[in-house]
């Protein structure tokens, strides 16, 4: 889909919702904690938000229907994908060299350094101005610059190769703890036609080691990263991509996290788009339930059938004996409703399986590059601390396979919270207090 069409379609629906709400740009921007000019650019099609969370909050403020929320997310996915491909193409285009032809870039690429020429058995080239009596200093300076540039490029390449070769994606495992890894994107392991059985993702943590102490994890070799551009999916032979958002919120009122820290060391509740960073900073784990948003999209025009999603349990333990922190501020109302393509699973079950929410259809569904699907999964647990992941089965023509969807090479992790000390953060307060002690005026 052309870029202007995808962005225009997305902006048109935003404007329709905004106009229908009767609220001004200023009022909406204030409630969304963004500038009025930024909201203008989104609604005019001049910019596409990098994250979907503010778009969903805008739609809910404008009283969007469930069907409109799904359509809005679909249009945002298409606009964001086109923008991503444009950015990747720009990054691959080399900068133009100077017209004078005397810059370091041209000297480095246009002729081999003297050391390389000598090693190849070729005599060093004579300076161009040797027979004119001109000062050869400029030529020597250009040659020296080219050699230094080549050495610098080689050093950077060697450093990158060394980092990639280290276990754990560039860490030697001596205490980094994966702090520099982005959190919140899914890892996707692809298996082609007639998939061979593969080991599940490594457990996020053992019963004796809390999540904050786990070392850096790696997406399994040969995997296609979540939300990968269509070209990457086609290279791997998989005609579909999956982007998982493990820290999405159905509503702030329903989202809680367990953390092995006292209330005095906890930061205030984040907005939804900041949840992943907040979880990483506190070594937190989803409490009671985890809400996942999965975006499934084809990598080409052909239709791909999503045959089903299977829940796999990688480990079960006793619930974490940590403090329980509620993300909602006391007294603040919470909206929301049942989404289309919504599913639920109880991780307490011996064999957890997804079931459609009332009024929702079950698998299979069809996707393509221009027609993605969004699935909302609510995983609940009370009696265990569970490591789990998903397997998505797909088929297209005579091809079929399975994608393993997890949290960047680690399983998703959800723990029961029954009987755990619970805390809330009052509006205007300066810290967490025991839940239920806040007096509402």
166 belongs to a structural domain: no
d(CA 380, CA 382): 7
Distances (CA, A) of 226 to 233, 244, 296, 329, 358: 10, 7, 10, 32, 29
- When mean pLDDT is compared over 129-133, 166-170, 179-183, 319-323, the highest value belongs to 319-323
Which has more confidence, 216 or 313?
Answer: 313
- Res 168: pLDDT: 36
Boundary of a domain, candidates 56, 89, 122:
89
State mean pLDDT over 354-358. Answer: 93
What is the value of pTM for the model shown? 0.56
Counting Cβ atoms within 10 Å, is residue 226 exposed (0-12), middle (13-18) or buried (19+)? buried
Asked if residue 262 lies in contact with residue 323, where contact means CB atoms within 8 angstroms, the answer is yes
**Is residue 343 predicted with pLDDT exceeding 60?**
yes
Asked if residue 146 lies in contact with residue 108, where contact means CB atoms within 8 angstroms, the answer is yes
133 belongs to a structural domain: no
- Res 116: pLDDT: 41
Which pLDDT band holds residue 158 (cuts at 50, 70, 90)? very low
d(CA 175, CA 166): 14
**Is residue 253 predicted with pLDDT exceeding 50?**
yes
Sign of the alpha-carbon torsion through 179, 181, 186, 188 = negative
Count of domains for the chain: 2
d(CA 392, CA 74): 19
Boundary of a domain, candidates 89, 112, 133:
89
Whether residues 323 and 205 fall in one domain: yes
**Is residue 212 predicted with pLDDT exceeding 80?**
no
290 belongs to a structural domain: yes
163 belongs to a structural domain: no
CATH number at residue 29: 1.10.260.40
Sign of the alpha-carbon torsion through 326, 328, 329, 330 = negative
Read off the pLDDT of residues 83-119 as tens digits, 9 standing for 90 and up: 766 665 555 545 444 344 443 334 333 444 444 433 3
Counting Cβ atoms within 10 Å, is residue 107 exposed (0-12), middle (13-18) or buried (19+)? buried
Query: What residues form DSSP beta bridges with 323?
Result: 259
Domain containing 7 equals 3-89
Read off the pLDDT of residues 29-60 as tens digits, 9 standing for 90 and up: 888 878 888 888 899 888 898 888 888 888 88
d(CA 398, CA 80): 30
* SS percent in the chain: helix, strand, coil, step 5: 35, 20, 45
Whether residues 209 and 340 fall in one domain: yes
φ, ψ at 391 (rounded to 5°): -120, 120
30 belongs to a structural domain: yes
């Amino acid at each position: 889909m052309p870029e202007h069409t995808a962005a225009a379609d997305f902006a048109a629906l935003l404007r329709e919702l905004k106009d229908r709400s009767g609220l001004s740009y200023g009022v909406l921007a204030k409630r969304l904690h963004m500038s009025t000019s930024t909201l203008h650019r989104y609604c005019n099609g001049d910019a596409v938000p990098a994250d979907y969370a503010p778009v969903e909050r805008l739609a809910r403020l404008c009283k969007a229907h469930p069907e409109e929320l799904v359509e809005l997310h679909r249009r945002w996915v298409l606009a964001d994908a086109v923008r991503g491909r444009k950015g990747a193409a720009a990054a691959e285009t080399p900068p133009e060299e100077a017209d004078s032809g005397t810059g370091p870039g041209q000297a480095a690429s246009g002729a081999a350094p003297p050391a390389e020429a000598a090693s190849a058995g070729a005599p060093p080239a004579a300076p161009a101005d040797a027979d004119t009596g001109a000062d050869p200093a400029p030529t020597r300076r250009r040659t020296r610059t080219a050699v230094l540039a080549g050495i610098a490029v080689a050093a950077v390449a060697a450093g990158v190769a060394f980092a990639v070769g280290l276990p754990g994606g560039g860490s030697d495992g001596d205490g980094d703890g994966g702090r520099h890894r982005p959190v919140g994107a899914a890892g996707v392991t692809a298996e082609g036609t007639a998939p061979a059985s593969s080991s599940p993702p490594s457990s996020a943590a053992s019963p004796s080691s809390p999540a904050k102490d786990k070392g850096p994890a790696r997406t399994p070799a040969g995997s296609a990263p979540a939300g990968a551009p269509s070209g990457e999916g086609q290279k791997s032979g998989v005609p579909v991509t999956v982007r998982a958002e493990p820290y999405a919120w159905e509503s702030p009122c329903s989202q809680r996290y367990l953390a092995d820290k006292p209330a005095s060391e906890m930061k205030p509740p984040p907005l939804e788009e900041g949840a992943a960073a907040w979880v990483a900073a506190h070594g937190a784990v989803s409490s009671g339930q985890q809400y996942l948003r999965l975006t499934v999209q084809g990598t080409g025009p052909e239709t791909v059938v999503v045959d089903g999603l299977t829940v796999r349990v990688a480990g079960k333990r006793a619930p974490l004996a940590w403090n329980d922190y509620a993300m909602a501020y006391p007294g603040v109302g919470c909206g929301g409703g049942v989404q289309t393509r919504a599913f639920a699973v109880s991780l307490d079950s011996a064999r957890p399986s997804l079931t459609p929410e009332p009024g929702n259809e079950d698998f299979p569904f069809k996707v393509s590059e221009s027609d993605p699907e969004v699935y909302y999964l609510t995983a609940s647990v009370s009696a265990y601390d569970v490591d789990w992941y998903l397997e998505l089965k797909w088929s297209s023509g005579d091809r079929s396979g399975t994608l393993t969807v997890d949290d960047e090479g680690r399983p998703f992790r959800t723990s029961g919270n029954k009987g755990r000390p619970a805390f809330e953060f009052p509006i205007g307060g300066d810290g967490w207090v025991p839940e239920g002690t806040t007096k509402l005026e």
